[in-house]
Amino acid sequence: MAILDILIYPDPRLHEVAAPVDTVDDNIRKLVDDMAETMYAAPGIGLAAAQVNERKRIIVVDISESKDSLKIFINPQIISAEGSEESEEGCLSVPDIYAPVSRAEKIRVRALDRNGDSFELDADGLLAVCIQHEIDHLDGKVFVDYLSRLKQDRIRKKLSKFQRQSA
């Protein structure tokens, strides 16, 4: 397994749309394992392939405290959603920035697992927020895009400075 580099906002590659996975083979399983390792090392509770510069519709999520409940979603689709709730979000691609975003409160998601088998899952609370946040990445969307233009400008400025310092 390997820890992959995470793209940092405002990297334009974060705004590209990912393509569906045709076949869940060993290459895909290796990417999934690397993504999980990268997420745990960060540490984070979710990661989309787009964030590690892979334009494939894959996300990994683990919201457990014990970090032993990895959920893998390949070609995830939200098939139903209800309610709406606002909560504070952050993102491994937007370090040290947190802002409130409104999302559906409950969702039902359909995806393929690491064997390529289809499954459905009902999610609410943090898990629902996290899945919606990660699926957004696959559509080239970062949570910052939901904020006001003024806030987006501030975040862009702050992170450009952050990247100059770490370079």
Contact range with Ni ion by CB under 5 A, out of 10-18, 23-31, 84-92, 115-123: 84-92
Stated as kind and residue range, the H or E segment containing 137 is helix 125-138
In the complex, the smallest distance separating the C-beta of residue 105 from Ni ion, rounded to whole angstroms, is 19
Other beta carbons within 10 angstroms of residue 125's beta carbon come to 12
Q: Which of 54, 88, 120, 134 is catalytic?
A: 134
In the complex, the smallest distance separating the C-beta of residue 25 from Ni ion, rounded to whole angstroms, is 26
Q: Is 90 helix (H, G, I), strand (E, B) or coil?
A: strand
Among residues 137, 114, 118, the alpha carbon closest in space to that of 49 is found at 137
Other beta carbons within 10 angstroms of residue 52's beta carbon come to 21
Residues 124/37, Cβ–Cβ less than 8 Å: no
Q: Do strands 94-103 and 118-124 pair parallel, antiparallel, or not at all (unpaired)?
A: unpaired
Query: In the stretch 90-119, what mask flags binding to Ni ion with x, by CB under 5 A?
Result: -x----------------------------
Contact set for Ni ion, span 123-162 (CB under 5 A): none
* Site membership for Ni ion, residue 8 (CB under 5 A): no
* Site membership for Ni ion, residue 59 (CB under 5 A): no
Query: In the stretch 19-58, what mask flags binding to Ni ion with x, by CB under 5 A?
Result: ----------------------------------------
* Site membership for Ni ion, residue 74 (CB under 5 A): no
Three-class HEC string of 103-125: ECCEEEEEEECCCCCEEEEEEEH
In the complex, the smallest distance separating the C-beta of residue 158 from Ni ion, rounded to whole angstroms, is 17
What residue ranges bind Ni ion (CB under 5 A)? 91
